[in-house]
Amino acid sequence: MTTVERRSTAALLALLVVRLAAMATIPLNESTEARYGEMARKMLETGNWVLPMHDYGIPFLAKPPLWAWMSAASMGIFGVNAFAARLPALLLSIMTLGLVWLLALKRHGRGASIGAPLVLAASAGFFVAAGTVMTDPALAFSTTLVLASFWLAIHYEQELWGWMFFAGCGVGLLAKGPVALVISGMPVFFWTLRRNEWESVWRRLPWIWGSMLTLAIAAPWYALAQIRAPEFLSYFLIGEHVHKFLDPGWKGDRYGYAHAFPHGTIWIFALLCFLPWSAAVPSLTRKAKSVWKDDDGWMLFLALWSFASLVFFTVAANIIWPYPLPALPGLALLFAEIMLRLGKRIPIAAVYATALAGAVATLGALAMPNRFDLSERDTIAAWRGQASAPDSRLLFWGYKRIEFSAAFYSSGRATTTSDDAAAEALLRNETRDYIVSTPGGLERLPLQVREGFEDIGHYENGRGVRILLRENAGKTAGP
């Protein structure tokens, strides 16, 4: 192993250690991570592996279930905890890095193959998403698998990668839906069009049987989902893909709200996700003209991979920060390629800077939970410390929506309501129950309920103070 390889490996290990530490210590915060983590936990609990449950009896039709399958399986093996829920995203991200390394290895050999993985691993957006419970790591892996397989099949004429191209399409359909085919299909189409490679693309990819493989991977779940929820295809294809893309004021989101940003915001998100490397883009762009040309279209392919999806999302009415993730592997390869052609090395210090920033952010979040902890983990831990009876109730009072982190950390026992009758019903059952409320919510709690419960603790997180109430002693069940 050369000195460069040793230093690069050490830098990658530093990133991994920091990411593992964050995965193990930072709670599942509201709302994205907690929501997806809780839906995966419900899948494991209920044994319903077809449709994730937004709440018990309410199917989640907005996304395919690959993330839920993987997180639920992981929690089935390693226990229900945040680390286990996040582990599949880390493994997918490592496999994405492996595909990027393989492309660089095929292109330049071992000596120059580590640059692109270093750039990708240290990119802020990739580093954060690696080990985060959401759909985007699976999407980024699937699009990377499609595009890496395409290049390897076309230029190295390896039959296996032709099949992997279509396998990646199937995985993408289960990771995010048809948008995965759009994101990966645009670079393939425009590269083929620009270079007039129609004959070689047709000849070197098994289009007929490969398409059958894609359908074999994805179609059974789509059929089962439609059978279980007849409104699925209409809502998922038309609502989530068409209305959400075109309508900034779309009110049809069943599970939250649309995230409207001005057109073009995706480029700001991309620049932030590609930090620290995006800081060097202006100077590299001026120098890149002299090293852009090649004979096989490699630079064109990387440019399309990097920017086609960003152009696509430029006109999207609703976006969120992870949308640039599928472009990051292409950007990493392009950045490393330009640096190599200019005779420059990837600065290892920038990789350590990402690791240091991640470590500081993790320590800061742990040191100041009242500012950065957006979960109900500590409140639930206090409730568990009360040794409540197995059938006692834990009610989050006055909340407008499900507290997913509360449901996750309580194993589904926490419920949410703002209905007076539901709170008053706690007084009439046979268990000693608990209520969690904000100070403002406590004022709206029915008087007889307030008189029937005692304040046993206040817990502060990044969203304010939580008051834990325990029902007064006197019931036959419970402590």
Q: Which of 349, 367, 385 is the last residue of a domain?
A: 367
Burial class (CB in 10 A: 0-12, 13-18, 19+), 74: buried
* Local structure of residue 389 (DSSP, 8 states): -
pLDDT at 152: 96
In terms of domains, do 76 and 222 share one?
Answer: yes
The ranges of the chain with pLDDT < 50 are 476-479
**Contact indicator for 45, 74 with CB cutoff of 8 Å:** no
Q: Which residues contact 474 (CB under 8 A, 6 or more apart)?
A: none
| Within a domain: 121 | yes
In terms of domains, do 363 and 388 share one?
Answer: no
pLDDT in tens, 258-303: 677 888 999 999 999 999 999 988 888 777 777 888 889 999 999 9
| Within a domain: 476 | no
> What CA–CA distance (Å, rounded) separates 52 from 212?
26
> What CA–CA distance (Å, rounded) separates 467 from 270?
40
In terms of domains, do 292 and 438 share one?
Answer: no
In terms of domains, do 44 and 161 share one?
Answer: yes
In terms of domains, do 315 and 435 share one?
Answer: no
Domain count of the chain? 2
> What CA–CA distance (Å, rounded) separates 427 from 475?
9
Q: Which of 367, 388, 417 is the last residue of a domain?
A: 367
pLDDT at 258: 65
Q: Which of 367, 389, 412 is the last residue of a domain?
A: 367
In terms of domains, do 304 and 389 share one?
Answer: no
How many helices and strands in the chain, by DSSP H and E? Answer: 24, 7
Residue from 284, 291, 292, 296 nearest 107 by CA: 296
Calculate the alpha carbon distances from 456 to 250, 348, 437 in Å.
43, 51, 12
| Within a domain: 477 | no
* Predicted TM-score of the model (pTM): 0.93
In terms of domains, do 384 and 442 share one?
Answer: yes
pLDDT at 475: 53
pLDDT in tens, 424-445: 999 988 889 999 999 999 989 9
| Within a domain: 315 | yes
pLDDT at 306: 97
Helices 348-367/115-122 angle, 10° precision:
20
In terms of domains, do 179 and 326 share one?
Answer: yes
Range(s) of the domain holding residue 146: 3-367
> What CA–CA distance (Å, rounded) separates 402 from 315?
32
